[in-house]
Chains A and B, each alone.
Chain A
Amino acid sequence: MALVLDGVAFGLQLALLATGLTLIYGLAGVLNLAHGQLVVAAAMVGAVALGAGAPVLLALGLAVVTAGAAAVLLDVTLLRPVYRLRGQARVLLSLLLTLGVAFAADGLLVHSFPFTRLNLSVATPSVELLGVTVRSASVVASLVAIVALGGLVVLLRTTRVGRAIRSLTQDEEGAQLCGVDPGRTRRLVFVLGGSMAGLVAVTQGLVSSVGATSGLDLTIFALIVTVVGGLGRVSGAVVAGVLLGVVHAVAAFHIGTVLTFVILLVAAIVVILVRPSGILGGAGS
Chain B
Amino acid sequence: MSGPLGLGPGGVVAPPASSLRAYLPIVVASVVLALVPLSLGGSRYFLSLGVHLLVVASYAVAFNLVFGSTSQLFLCQGALAGAAAYCSVILGNRYGLPLWLTIPAGVGLAALLGGGLSWVAVSRRLEVIYLGIVTLAFSLVFTNLLLGGRELTGGETGLVVDGGAGTWLRSPAAAYYLFLALLVGHLVVYRAIERSRLGWGFRALRDDEVAAALAGVDVARAKVTAGVVGAAMLGSVGATFAAHEGFVSPTTFAFGEVDVRVLVVLALGGVGTLLGPVVGAVVVTVVDELLRPLGQLRLTVYGVVLVVIFLGFRQGMVRSVRSLWMRAGTRAGPRTD
Contact = CB atoms under 8 A, between A and B. Distances in A.
Interface of A: 31, 78, 81, 85, 88-89, 91-93, 95-97, 99-108, 110-111, 114, 216, 220, 223-224, 227, 231, 256, 258-259, 261-262, 265-266, 268-269, 272-273, 276
B128 A91 contact: yes
Contact of B140 (A99, A107, A261, A276): A261
Nearest to A104: B303
Nearest to B147: A258
Contacts of B126: 272-273, 276
Contacts of A220: 140
B195 interface: no
Contact of A103 (B7, B129, B299, B310): B299
Nearest to B307: A100
Given A81-B311, A88-B1, A97-B311, A258 B6 contact: no
A256 B147 CA distance: 12
B34 interface: no
Given A223-B133, A262-B148, A268-B133, A92 B128 contact: yes
B46 interface: no
Contacts of A106: 299-300, 303
Contacts of B23: none
Contact of A262 (B128, B144, B305, B306): B144
Interface in B102-153: 120, 124, 126-130, 132-134, 136-138, 140-141, 144-145, 147-148
Contacts of A81: 311
Given A101-B307, A276-B130, A261 B299 contact: no
A104 B144 contact: no
Interface of B: 1, 4-7, 73, 120, 124, 126-130, 132-134, 136-138, 140-141, 144-145, 147-148, 256, 260, 263, 267, 295-307, 310-311
A100 B295 CA distance: 17
B143 to A, nearest CB: 10
Nearest to A108: B300
Given A85-B6, A111-B295, A111-B297, A97 B307 contact: yes
A30 to B, nearest CB: 11
B116 to A, nearest CB: 12
Given A88-B1, A93-B310, A100-B304, A108 B297 contact: yes
A265 B140 CA distance: 8
B317 to A, nearest CB: 17
Residue of A95, A102, A114 with highest tally of chain B CB at under 10 A: A95
Contacts of B304: 100, 104
A152 to B, nearest CB: 24
Nearest to B309: A100
B138 to A, nearest CB: 7
B141 A107 contact: no
A104 B301 CA distance: 7
A269 B6 contact: no
Given A31-B129, A100-B310, A92 B5 contact: yes
16 contacts: A88-B1, A92-B128, A93-B5, A96-B310, A103-B303, A104-B302, A105-B300, A105-B303, A107-B301, A108-B297, A110-B299, A258-B144, A261-B144, A265-B144, A272-B126, A272-B130
B134 A111 contact: no
A111 B141 contact: no
Contacts of A231: 129
Given A97-B307, A107-B300, A265 B132 contact: no
Contacts of B302: 100, 103-104, 107
Contacts of A93: 5-7, 310
A256 B137 contact: no
Contact of A111 (B4, B137, B300): B300
A223 B136 CA distance: 10
Contacts of B311: 78, 81, 97
Contacts of B299: 103-104, 106-107, 110
A276 to B, nearest CB: 6
A100 B130 contact: no
B30 to A, nearest CB: 30
A100 B4 CA distance: 18
Contacts of A96: 263, 267, 306, 310
Contacts of B147: 258
A99 B138 CA distance: 18
B272 to A, nearest CB: 14
B297 A103 contact: no
Nearest to B260: A103
Nearest to B298: A107
Contact of A95 (B129, B138, B305): B129
Contacts of B120: 273
Residue of B120, B128, B144, B295 with highest tally of chain A CB at under 10 A: B144
A89 B306 contact: no
A100 B306 CA distance: 5
A265 B6 contact: no
A246 B15 CA distance: 55
Given A96-B306, A103-B302, A262-B145, 6 more contacts: A89-B6, A92-B73, A99-B306, A111-B295, A269-B137, A276-B124
B303 A269 contact: no
A91 B130 CA distance: 10
Contacts of B6: 85, 89, 92-93
Contacts of A91: 127-129
A6 B256 CA distance: 31
B34 to A, nearest CB: 33
